[in-house]
Structure 1
């Protein structure tokens, strides 16, 4: 099987290695962010704490200090005004589990987006695309039932997926890519490629892949990350995704097979960070 080597993308500066990393991401502008705290927040604790977002941007790094964080284990993404959005994956129906901070690190909004968040991706306009896993889709929290939604950064619901003619139920949003104002998703169990344009128009194309964890799109080309290290290549047509070349094995920059990884998909890029690590690497379909 042909192999493709990941490219190193971003490394947390060594001076921060002693802090606890709660989450990390790559934003709509290609910047990398690490959400750090002095200690691991205690689940269920009510006392707010301070945290630091370290940002790597074009070879330089800088800090944003967040005051009075109220969440236990939040995902993070950046907003175009210099602020950040944090969200706990799991929540109860009466719990404000999303917290927005301004560019000075001050908490400005709290709201709910639903239980069982699998993906949180902010687009260039600052809207929040959220994919949910099955415990939310089939759970008691109606906010999660659509499987894929778009929210404003102040908690207003802007769009939600709903099955219709030619559309399938989204039982688990396995992969999500946001590029500009367009989102691409692959839900369990048949893993069709779902395209959602900025105006809410939805286009569903069947595929022959399964177990999709990430995807990259470049024009009519698409690649799916299945498992930890397998890439399936395809061509997007009006009605389907057609396989185009043999399966590729993805390997780390050092040539070894990557382990379980966090995945962030942005346009033509799939970013990976191995579990327990802080470094990001990338495969770019457009390179």
Structure 2
């Protein structure tokens, strides 16, 4: 099988290397953010602590100091107004596990979006797209049961997935791509490609893929990344994704195999950070690798 090499994308400056990394992401505008603390917060309900967001934006690096963070192992994304949203993946009923900060790093809102968050991505309007794993879909928290929801940055529900006949189900939101104000999801168990507009309109296309963990889309084409780091490609039609011949294994920029990773999917790009690392690399379906 041929290989496709990732391209280096963003690197945490060495000056911050001594700090503890809580989470990192790539936002709706392509900026990279690292959420850092002096030390890892203790388990259980966290006492308020200070955190630092380091942002890399087209060669510029700047800091945002967050005050009174109350989450133990938060996920991070950025808001268009310069603020940030943090969310604890696991939560208990009635416990607020989402914390929103303004551009000055002040805590402004807290609310709940449901247990077992697998994906948290903001869009260019500032809305939050939240995809849940099967532990949330089949768990005790009704907020998680739809599997995929869109929330305002102040905690107002804007849209939720509703299952339908045939492959329109959501047992586990395996992959989520948010670009502009549109989201694409690939859920278990039938693995359809679901397109959701900002107005809540839903389009479903059947696929022949399995074990999907990420996806990238551009110009009527889609690339699916599976759990073994194998890329397969398809052509998007009115009701289906028709497979294209060939497959390729996604590898590091130096050609070596990936060793565990987390993904952020944004339009034509799949951003990759290896487990335990701070650097980001990227696959771009429109880059002409094939």
Q: Tell me whether the two structures share a fold, i.e. TM-score over 0.5.
A: yes
Matched, 1:281 2:281: yes
Aligned counterparts of 2:46 and 2:10: Cα–Cα separation in 1: 33
- The Cα shift of 1:46 comes to 3.7
Equivalences for residues 129-278 of structure 1 within 5 A: 129-165=129-165, 168-278=168-278
What is residue 101 of structure 2 aligned with on the other side?
A: 101
Equivalences for residues 71-150 of structure 1 within 5 A: 71-150=71-150
Q: Is the 8 A contact 1:228 1:258 kept in 2?
A: no
- The Cα shift of 1:165 comes to 4.2
- The Cα shift of 1:227 comes to 1.4
What is residue 28 of structure 1 aligned with on the other side?
A: 28
> What per-residue deviation string (whole Å, max 9, x for no partner) do you get for residues 186-232 of structure 1?
00122111111121111111111111000001021000010142101
Q: Is the 8 A contact 1:228 1:259 kept in 2?
A: no
5+ residue gaps, structure 2, are none
Aligned counterparts of 1:243 and 1:212: Cα–Cα separation in 2: 14
What is residue 42 of structure 2 aligned with on the other side?
A: 42
TM-score (norm 2): 0.97
Aligned counterparts of 2:46 and 2:203: Cα–Cα separation in 1: 43
Matched, 1:13 2:13: yes
Aligned counterparts of 2:164 and 2:190: Cα–Cα separation in 1: 16
Aligned counterparts of 1:240 and 1:26: Cα–Cα separation in 2: 29
Alignment partner of 1:143: what SS? helix
- The Cα shift of 1:27 comes to 0.2
Alignment partner of 1:135: what SS? helix
- The Cα shift of 1:47 comes to 1.2
Range that drifts further, 37-46 or 49-58: 37-46
5+ residue gaps, structure 1, are none
Q: Is the 8 A contact 1:228 1:261 kept in 2?
A: no
- The Cα shift of 1:266 comes to 0.2
Runs of 4+ in 1 over 4 A off after TM superposition: none
Q: Is the 8 A contact 1:137 1:144 kept in 2?
A: yes
TM-score (norm 1): 0.98
- The Cα shift of 1:239 comes to 1.2
